């Protein structure tokens, strides 16, 4: 059975059992652009943006959706997010530079990160970034000084850590007490940070942010953390905290495998908005602007990686390795945190899955495996293998390990395709080297 739930909205299988995305035959895309290649379906991308904007605004008109760039961004994608009315989260000077290059209005850009450098903060303040989400006492002092030097008052949010475990992988859990991110509410640091921020002459505290981790398949952590943080914030009203913005972060889950059923966007919206409304009513608090920061859940489902099968090694009674021409250099997630994926043979999608194989990459690490012990139709060298739900945290974490050039990014729509990032060349690999 074709796992439709993990593929882009436009994915279909034609009469010959070939995978079509955005009206384009993936076998032809692999031929034209070479492999590995990442295919992004523009319809899915825009549908996901619209579902976040519409589902939240339907319940709570004062919602601003900020796309979390670290999931993956480049100038062409930034233009699409801008067209869809989204703002941006950035976590580095590099992401900020892309936002700026793409003509993104910087007042809709929020700067996150646990250790922004003085250089990054100076650029952000001077360029007029919308908000800096302050993450440490060091940053409070540094940013206040930088804003003072620039003759500005910088709008900020404070990132608090509510101490709520969203039950995801330990590497992607961020809102608990043992985390490098944010000011802990439990330890008293968050209270101290709010008081310090309110006393800074060149900072204007607009509200609080938290981000629990990712991907979060449960609704309850959002409900619990929203209530906890709002109640915490209410305690500082007399000291001058006006919560005009409230940001419960991102972390919305997507399906990576056929059996996963993440909550719909409407369910996340209902949970967060109803908790926000009832808690504010209970506390007699004015309703703030709601900031939502999806990354994975927007770009993840839009992306499909295509690889070509090369060597096949059968170790009788042990394992059958099917090696492809990409791997951990373009998708580190299985090696980094045991991420799992569906795998589809793009030219044999109507054939029975008859053998158990492990899809290995071409990198010199035994841990370079994209999918372990999955069922496929009989694999042959030259087959095109599609790995869906790979739009998020794959291209953005890609490396040049083994000096493999990073793959191109191709946008498909209505039967047409266009390169939005070309394949790297060998010259690119040596661009920064000096002899
Ligand atoms: C990573 C991150 C996000 C986005 O997380 P997703 O799981 O991609 O939705 C949002 N906000 C902050 C602060 C983040 O660090």
- Which CATH number belongs to the domain containing residue 283 in this structure? 3.20.20.10
Contacting residues for 80 by C-beta, under 8 A, at least 6 apart: 42, 45, 46, 49
Examine the domain organization and report whether 231 and 102 are in the same domain: yes
List the domain range (segments joined by +) for residue 414.
Answer: 4-34+302-429
For ligand 1, the distance from its centroid to the CA atom of residue 220, given in whole angstroms, is: 18
Q: Are 331 and 394 in contact (CB under 8 A)?
A: yes
Kindly state if the Cβ of 247 falls inside 6 Å of ligand 1.
no
The pLDDT of residue 336 is above 80: yes
Examine the domain organization and report whether 286 and 311 are in the same domain: no
Kindly state if the Cβ of 329 falls inside 6 Å of ligand 1.
no
The pLDDT of residue 234 is above 80: yes
CA distances for 40 relative to 166, 297, 319, 322, angstroms = 29, 14, 32, 25
Let me know if residue 434 belongs to a domain. no
Per the model's pLDDT, the better-predicted residue between 72 and 169 turns out to be 72
Q: Which helix (H) or strand (E) holds 110?
A: strand 109-111
Examine the domain organization and report whether 163 and 197 are in the same domain: yes
Out of 295, 317, 351, a domain closes at 295
Let me know if residue 409 belongs to a domain. yes
Out of 246, 264, 295, a domain closes at 295
Q: Are 413 and 22 in contact (CB under 8 A)?
A: yes
- pLDDT, position 349: 96
Q: What is the DSSP letter of 307?
A: E
Out of 242, 272, 295, a domain closes at 295
Let me know if residue 435 belongs to a domain. no
pLDDT digit string, tens, across residues 382-413: 999 999 999 999 999 999 999 999 999 999 99
Examine the domain organization and report whether 245 and 96 are in the same domain: yes
Examine the domain organization and report whether 291 and 316 are in the same domain: no
Q: Of all residues in the chain, what percent carry a pLDDT higher than 90?
A: 95
Looking up residue 349, the CATH number of its domain turns out to be 2.40.37.10
pLDDT band at 178 (very low <50, low <70, confident <90, very high): confident
Which of the residues are catalytic?
364
Examine the domain organization and report whether 313 and 220 are in the same domain: no
Q: Work out how many domains the chain is built from and give that number.
A: 2
Q: Are 309 and 326 in contact (CB under 8 A)?
A: no
Let me know if residue 135 belongs to a domain. yes
- pLDDT, position 22: 98
pLDDT band at 106 (very low <50, low <70, confident <90, very high): very high
Let me know if residue 339 belongs to a domain. yes
pLDDT band at 24 (very low <50, low <70, confident <90, very high): very high
DSSP collapsed to 3 states, 191-246: HHHHHHHHHCCCEEEEEEECCCECCECCCHHHHHHHHHHHHHHHCCCCCCCCCCEE
- pLDDT, position 167: 81
Contacting residues for 131 by C-beta, under 8 A, at least 6 apart: 109, 110, 111, 155, 156, 157, 206, 245
**What tokens were used for 213?**
């981790």
The Cα 414–Cα 343 span in angstroms is 24
Kindly state if the Cβ of 297 falls inside 6 Å of ligand 1.
yes
Over residues 181-200, the mean pLDDT reads 97
The pLDDT of residue 168 is above 80: no
Per the model's pLDDT, the better-predicted residue between 141 and 103 turns out to be 141
Examine the domain organization and report whether 234 and 360 are in the same domain: no
pLDDT digit string, tens, across residues 340-378: 999 999 999 999 999 999 999 999 999 999 999 999 999
Q: How far apart are the first and last CA of the chain?
A: 54
Contacting residues for 188 by C-beta, under 8 A, at least 6 apart: none
Contacting residues for 431 by C-beta, under 8 A, at least 6 apart: none
The pLDDT of residue 296 is above 80: yes
Over residues 205-229, the mean pLDDT reads 96
Kindly state if the Cβ of 206 falls inside 6 Å of ligand 1.
no
Examine the domain organization and report whether 340 and 207 are in the same domain: no
Examine the domain organization and report whether 277 and 228 are in the same domain: yes
Kindly state if the Cβ of 120 falls inside 6 Å of ligand 1.
no
Examine the domain organization and report whether 27 and 76 are in the same domain: no
Examine the domain organization and report whether 23 and 46 are in the same domain: no
For ligand 1, the distance from its centroid to the CA atom of residue 192, given in whole angstroms, is: 25
For ligand 1, the distance from its centroid to the CA atom of residue 146, given in whole angstroms, is: 26
Best of 51, 67, 68 to mutate for ligand 1, by most ligand atoms within 8 A of CB? 68
With the C-alpha atoms ordered 273, 278, 280, 286, is the resulting torsion angle positive or negative?
A: positive
- pLDDT, position 368: 98
The pLDDT of residue 55 is above 80: yes
Examine the domain organization and report whether 158 and 203 are in the same domain: yes
Let me know if residue 73 belongs to a domain. yes
Q: Which helix (H) or strand (E) holds 119?
A: helix 118-127
Q: Return mean pLDDT, the chain.
A: 96
Q: Compute φ and ψ for 44, nearest 5 degrees.
A: -65, -45
Under DSSP, is residue 331 helix (H, G, I), strand (E, B) or coil?
coil
Let me know if residue 92 belongs to a domain. yes
Let me know if residue 85 belongs to a domain. yes
**What tokens were used for 323?**
């090696």
Other CB atoms closer than 10 Å to residue 210's CB: what's the count? 28
- pLDDT, position 176: 74
- How does strand 303-315 pair with strand 319-324? antiparallel
């Amino acid at each position: 059975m074709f796992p439709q739930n993990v593929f882009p909205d436009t994915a279909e299988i034609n009469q010959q059992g070939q995978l079509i995305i955005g009206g384009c035959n993936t076998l032809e895309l692999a031929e034209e652009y070479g492999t590995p290649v990442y295919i992004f379906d523009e319809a899915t991308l825009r549908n996901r943006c619209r579902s976040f904007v519409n589902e939240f605004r339907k319940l709570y008109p004062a919602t601003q959706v900020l796309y979390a760039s670290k999931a993956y961004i480049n100038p062409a994608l930034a233009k699409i997010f801008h067209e869809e009315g989204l703002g941006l989260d950035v976590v580095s000077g590099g992401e900020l530079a892309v936002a700026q290059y793409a003509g993104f209005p910087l007042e809709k850009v929020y700067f996150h990160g646990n250790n922004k450098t003085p250089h990054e903060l100076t650029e952000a303040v001077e360029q007029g970034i919308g908000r800096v989400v302050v993450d440490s006492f060091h940053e409070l002092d540094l940013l206040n000084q930088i804003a003072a030097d620039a003759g500005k008052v910088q709008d900020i949010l404070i990132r608090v850590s509510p101490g709520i475990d969203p039950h995801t992988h330990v590497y992607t859990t961020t809102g608990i007490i043992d985390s490098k991110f944010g000011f802990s509410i439990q330890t008293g640091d968050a209270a101290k940070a709010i008081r310090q921020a309110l006393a800074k002459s060149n900072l204007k505290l607009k509200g609080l942010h938290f981000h629990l981790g990712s991907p979060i398949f449960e609704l309850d952590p959002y409900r619990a953390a929203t209530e906890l943080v709002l109640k915490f914030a209410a305690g500082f009203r007399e000291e001058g905290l006006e919560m005009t913005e409230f940001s419960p972060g991102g972390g919305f889950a997507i399906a990576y495998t056929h059996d996963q059923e993440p909550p719909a966007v409407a369910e996340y919206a209902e949970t967060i908005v109803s908790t926000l409304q009832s808690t504010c009513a209970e506390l007699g608090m004015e309703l703030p602007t709601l900031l939502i920061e999806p990354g994975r859940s927007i770009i993840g489902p839009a992306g499909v990686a295509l690889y070509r099968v090369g060597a096949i090694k059968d170790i009788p009674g042990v394992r059958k390795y099917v090696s492809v021409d990409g791997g951990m250099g373009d998708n580190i997630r299985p090696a980094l945190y045991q991420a799992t994926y569906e795998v589809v043979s793009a030219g044999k999608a109507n054939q029975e899955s008859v053998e158990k194989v492990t899809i290995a990459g071409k990198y010199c690490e035994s841990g370079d495996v994209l999918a372990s012990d999955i069922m496929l139709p009989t694999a042959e060298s030259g087959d095109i293998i599609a790995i869906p739900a790979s739009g998020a945290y794959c291209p953005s974490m890609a490396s040049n390990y083994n000096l493999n050039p990073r793959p191109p990014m191709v946008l498909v729509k209505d039967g047409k395709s266009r390169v939005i990032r070309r394949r790297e060349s060998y010259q690119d690999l040596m661009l920064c080297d000096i002899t």
